[in-house]
Amino acid sequence: MEFSVKSGSPEKQRSACIVVGVYEPRRLSAVAEQLDEISGGYISNLLRRGDLEGKSGQMLLLHQVPNILSERVLLVGCGKERELDERQYRQIISKTINTLNETGSMEAVCFLSELHVKGRDTYWKVRQAVEATQDCLYTFNSLKTRKEEARRPLRKIVFNVPTRKELPLGERAVAHGLGIAAGIKVCKDVANLPPNICNPAYLAEQAHKLAADNERITTHVVNEAEMESLGMGSYLAVGRGSVNESLMSVITYNGAGADVKPIVLVGKGLTFDSGGISLKPGEAMDEMKYDMGGAAGVLGAMNSLAQLNLPINVVAILAGCENMPDANAYRPGDILTTMSGQTVEVLNTDAEGRLVLCDALTYVERFDPDVVIDVATLTGACVIALGAHATGLLSSHNPLAHELLNASEQSGDRAWRLPLWDDYADQLESPFADFTNLGGRAAGTITAGLFLSKFTKKYHWAHLDIAGTAWRGGANKGSTGRPVSMLTQYLINRSGQEQGE
């Protein structure tokens, strides 16, 4: 898919299709008014007849509009002008792209990037349009023997900006949008693979491939023998019931001087989570291949980082593991010694992600990190609390939390902060070990965060619970690619190359 920006009058565009907006009720946008005037009132006559009201998402495709050089004009309903917000804008773009792709317009000039969206500039509108377009056109059919493809798919789209002065801003938006979309695609592709293909070794292969393709990146894979020597007893226990070896992939991106402390990203990589001895119910258990969504998101963000070539240092951990029931599997009642030396009483083997992450969070101390952000499909409680719309955010460092929340708002990949108060700590008390791995049903996301916080005292840390946002279930099952956009926006901001508010 090819993207570009230009600044020009709609009547001079030679394209398969021009895309313009119509507000409710039947009110032409400024660009649509220009086309209407050139066409001798052709468009306004259609609206008076009731062909299009202008409600958000309505579409009307016109052919051979008088005096217009383009073959088609697509009128897009944008709702009430003063009510057009970020969510509605993204939905309009998505509906537009689907319409173009289904109607054989292989190229288009889109003037929707000139719409007024409350509090958003040209950079934001163009970048969101690029990301939304790539999301709409994404398919995962590599394992199908018969692949359905559009006969005349959309191949090129030009976003128009109001003035020539804004062209550099638009070009930067396209570059950032493509970089982020590339990372989102990597995340989706890896997460959507079945667990018999995507196991810890496969994650390690992807980490090595990233290093082979980029001179700024190196990869080291920590195997079980090395984990044993490091004392990572908690991580190793979780994978004991699986025939697939636990492997922790360490990806290092050097974009700044050696004296610059790295940002560390840690992704939970449970390539399949059966629950172990505390076996999950059979219904929808197939979706537990998405329990490596944190690792997929971190891998995607590293791909975006490499494409954008940002001047920062980042270390990424893909904590690969598989949780299976077996005669050798760890049990409820076991007491594990973590890499930090702290002991954990296992109450439920399905609360395994935190047992893998805690050793990974201790391991990263060696990098003397500036900040550490872990990403995990950690708790069903987060789905209950926030649904599928917002990622749960917990942090022991207010400035880091605020930076992530800001990045989430800028990117549209939204997060919501939950408290990390000591009031909840009693729920993790154990009579036999330093603490348990489960705090009960109440405040499950918070107690999981508190568990992780016990291993992050030596640096600034934040935790992203993506259990509700990493994938969609049911008939439209598939990875969402989140939180690649938020993480990459955070890295862009930290690099000083952010644009827009």
Domain with CATH 3.40.630.10 in the chain: 180-495
Q: Is the dihedral of CA 77, 79, 82, 83 positive or negative?
A: negative
Q: Is 280 a catalytic residue?
A: yes
Q: Is 188 a catalytic residue?
A: no
Residues of the chain below pLDDT 70: 150, 498-501
Q: Which of 72, 125, 354, 454 is catalytic?
A: 354
Contact by Cβ (8 Å): 92, 56: yes
| Residues 429, 430, 436: CA angle, nearest 5 degrees | 80
Q: What is the pLDDT of residue 501?
A: 42
β-partners of residue 109 are 18, 158
Backbone angles phi, psi at 58, to 5 degrees: -65, 145
Token pair in block for residue 470:
């990493």
Domain with CATH 3.40.220.10 in the chain: 2-160
DSSP string, 239-269: GGG-SSPPEEEEEEEE-S-TTSPPEEEEEEE
Contact by Cβ (8 Å): 76, 55: no
CB atoms within 10 A of CB 438: 24
d(CA 123, CA 465): 29
Q: Which of 80, 280, 417, 477 is catalytic?
A: 280
Q: What is the pLDDT of residue 499?
A: 56
Q: What is the pLDDT of residue 150?
A: 66
Instruction: Tell me how long the chain is.
Output: 501
d(CA 336, CA 349): 12
Domain boundaries 2-160, CATH class: alpha beta
Rounded to two decimals, the pTM is: 0.96
Name the CATH architecture for the domain at 180-495: 3-Layer(aba) Sandwich (3.40)
Instruction: Report CA-CA distances (Å) from 421 to 390, 399, 438, 441.
Output: 21, 17, 16, 17
CB atoms within 10 A of CB 441: 11
Q: What is the pLDDT of residue 342?
A: 98
